[in-house]
Homo-oligomer: A and B are copies of this chain.
């Protein structure tokens, strides 16, 4: 089992978007990527629970890093598209996510991800398509 190095995790965790949405990679290896997000006042939509965009970002990231963990070290992955089903409202507090690769193609990676509340309830599920590219 090869893991994604601490330097990659640090680089991802340092991103503006991760700071803005209080999202954090916990670990990533060839079994998947695990994330945590702390939902606060800044995540809320008009009905008082986390905006779908915050969960879409979380699951996109979880799938993307699961893909990164399986491609060559000098490769990156870009999201071509994703789809997400919202299955439970997410109140302020912690939410967790795990992304896994379904198929690793030479050019295309397909992944899925799930967000869960601390109670274990599934809050959202996603499936996405990523392209592999060489980083300069």
Residues of A within 8 A of B (CB): 11-12, 15-17, 19-21, 40-47, 50-54, 56-58, 60-61, 76, 78-88, 102-103, 105, 107-108, 110, 112, 122, 125, 127, 129, 131
A79 contact from B43, B86, B107, Cβ within 8 A: B86
Whether A125 and B108, one on each chain, are in contact in the complex, defined by CB atoms closer than 8 angstroms, is no
Q: What are 22 A-B pairs with beta-carbon distances under 8 A?
A: A15-B51, A16-B41, A16-B44, A16-B51, A17-B42, A17-B43, A17-B50, A20-B20, A47-B76, A52-B60, A53-B53, A53-B54, A53-B60, A54-B57, A56-B60, A56-B82, A56-B84, A57-B57, A78-B86, A80-B129, A85-B102, A85-B110
